């Protein structure tokens, strides 16, 4: 978003306050200055020279989950996520972003992952006999979380795909960060270089469809990668395989499952029905809903973890409590960041509820294809 477009949006704000309704940061902290309406007022004063850009104002730019709930509610179409992305980019360029963001950007440029893990170990979770460099039209992009901290997710995806004889390839050490955390930090230059490297690898292996189990990677693909490939989230692939009769679940799961629409997969990618279709294909599940679901779902708080871990946990605990109040016995999400944040929120507040990522839930219930 250009400076001129930001100014236009600031003066478009009608001060109606509808943006406050689903803003998890405002609902938890209660400061008007953290609503989009309040932020627009502050930006207007800065533009008109009535206020200076102070350290607390800069820090408040990172006290936003970029969940896009305000965008859905705003009658004048103000897109604060795009505004904050552009502002973060400027703050980083001018080296006035918070120190944590400058360090994150430097680490991502060096290691191509946000965990400061060595690049060459990106594929170390793969079986030793995995045929690296195998060509296939289907490429499973694992992402940083699956590669370094939650290997159980890619292993589960592989188990399901292998059990039905689906052909695919994995980049392993040749994969780079998708660019999502780099873009969120405001470092477009590093993100562009990383994206180009990934695209080169997609082409090298002859991929046409890029499958991922990471909601953040999927959002980045559809919004920042060239349209030369078909980008799909695993829930879209699995729902399609279920409809075709290729993927069948045979064991029962007798739980009252509540599905949480994470922001990256939901509002940012528009994927709402496929995770529910997969859950409904497992015998025994009773599917229930949060009061605010799909486009209106309220964020888990995970994106503010870096800026304010305590706030992220409080927001997560509020969602977990809601799930309990709705009568759920199992909370399922299709985003590892949501799952980790929910677990932290429940742990720190003593809430008891089973929780699982959809990809981790599935292998146990799949009916394997008979070998010819």
Residues in contact with ligand SF4 by the rule CB under 6 A: 13-19, 22-25, 36-37, 40, 64-70, 73-74, 76, 78, 80-81, 299
CA distance linking residue 273 with residue 103, whole number of Å: 38
Angle between helices 273-280 and 234-244 (to 10 degrees): 50
CB 336 within 8 A of CB 263: no
- Indicate the residue among 14 and 132 with the shorter CB distance to ligand SF4: 14
Nearer to ligand SF4, 62 or 342 (CB): 62
- Closest by alpha carbon to 327, among 370, 282, 290, 369? 290
Report the residue number, 22 or 123, with the smaller CB distance to ligand SF4: 22
Q: What share of the chain is helix, strand, coil (3-state, %, to 5)?
A: 50, 10, 40
CB atoms within 10 A of CB 203: 11
Q: Whole-number minimum distance, CB 26 to ligand SF4, in Å?
A: 6
Which residue number, 32 or 137, has a Cβ lying nearer to ligand SF4? Answer: 32
Q: Of 77 and 127, which CB lies nearer to ligand SF4 in the complex structure? A: 77
Name the minimum Å distance from CB 66 to ligand SF4. 5
- Rounded distance, CA 182 to CA 302, Å? 16
- Looking at the Cβ atoms of 64 and 346, the one nearer to ligand SF4 is 64
Helix (H) or strand (E) holding 257: strand 256-260
333 DSSP β-pair partners: 260, 357
By beta-carbon proximity to ligand SF4, the closer residue of 80 and 148 is: 80
Q: How far is the CB of 61 from ligand SF4 (least distance, A)?
A: 10
Measured between alpha carbons, how far is residue 17 from residues 70, 71, 81, 291 in Å? 10, 12, 17, 21
For the bound state, the minimum distance from the C-beta of residue 46 to ligand SF4, rounded and expressed in Å, comes to: 16
* Nearest distance in Å: CB 268, ligand SF4: 11
Q: What is the Cα gyration radius of the chain?
A: 21
C-beta of 299: minimal distance to ligand SF4 in Å?
Answer: 6
The tokens describing 17, both together, are 């306050």
> Shortest gap between Cβ of 371 and ligand SF4 (angstroms)?
49
Residue 94 contacts by C-beta under 8 Å, 6 or more apart in sequence?
none
Q: Which of 327, 244, 240, 246 is nearest to 277 (CA)?
A: 240
Closest CB to ligand SF4 among residues 69, 138: 69
Q: Is 38 helix (H, G, I), strand (E, B) or coil?
A: helix
Q: How far is the CB of 67 from ligand SF4 (least distance, A)?
A: 4
Task: Let me know if 244 is exposed, middle or buried by CB neighbors in 10 A (0-12, 13-18, 19+).
Answer: exposed
């Amino acid at each position: 978003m250009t400076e001129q477009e930001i100014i236009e949006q600031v003066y478009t704000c009608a001060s109606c306050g509808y943006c406050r309704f689903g803003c998890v940061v405002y609902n938890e902290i209660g400061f008007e200055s953290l609503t989009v309406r309040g932020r627009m007022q502050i930006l207007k004063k800065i533009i008109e020279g009535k206020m200076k850009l102070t350290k607390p104002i800069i820090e408040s730019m990172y006290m936003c989950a970029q969940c896009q709930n305000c965008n859905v509610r705003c009658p004048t179409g103000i897109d604060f996520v795009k505004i904050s992305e552009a502002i973060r980019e400027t703050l980083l360029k001018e080296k006035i972003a918070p120190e944590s963001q400058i360090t994150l950007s430097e680490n991502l440029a060096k290691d191509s992952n946000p965990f400061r893990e060595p690049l060459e170990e990106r594929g170390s979770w793969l079986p030793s006999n995995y045929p690296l460099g195998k060509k296939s039209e289907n490429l499973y992009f694992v992402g940083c979380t699956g590669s370094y901290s939650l290997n159980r997710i890619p292993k589960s995806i592989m188990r399901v795909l292998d059990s039905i004889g689906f052909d695919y390839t994995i980049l392993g050490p040749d994969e780079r960060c998708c660019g999502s955390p780099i873009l969120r930090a405001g470092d477009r230059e590093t993100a562009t270089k990383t994206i180009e490297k990934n695209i080169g690898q997609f082409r090298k292996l002859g991929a046409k469809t890029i499958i991922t189990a990471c909601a953040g990677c999927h959002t980045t693909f559809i919004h920042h990668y060239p349209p030369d490939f078909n980008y799909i989230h695993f829930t879209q692939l699995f729902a399609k395989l279920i409809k075709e009769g290729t993927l069948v679940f045979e064991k029962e799961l007798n739980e009252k499952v509540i599905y949480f629409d994470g922001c990256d997969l939901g509002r940012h990618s528009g994927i709402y029905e496929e995770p529910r279709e997969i859950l409904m294909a497992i015998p025994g599940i009773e599917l229930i809903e949060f009061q605010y679901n799909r486009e209106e779902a309220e964020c888990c708080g995970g994106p503010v973890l870096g800026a304010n871990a305590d706030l992220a946990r409080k927001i997560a605990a509020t969602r977990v409590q809601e799930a309990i109040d709705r009568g759920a016995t199992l909370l399922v999400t299709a985003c590892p960041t949501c799952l980790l944040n929910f677990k932290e929120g429940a742990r720190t507040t003593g809430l008891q509820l089973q929780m699982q990522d959809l990809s981790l839930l599935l292998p146990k219930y799949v009916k394997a294809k008979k070998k010819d």
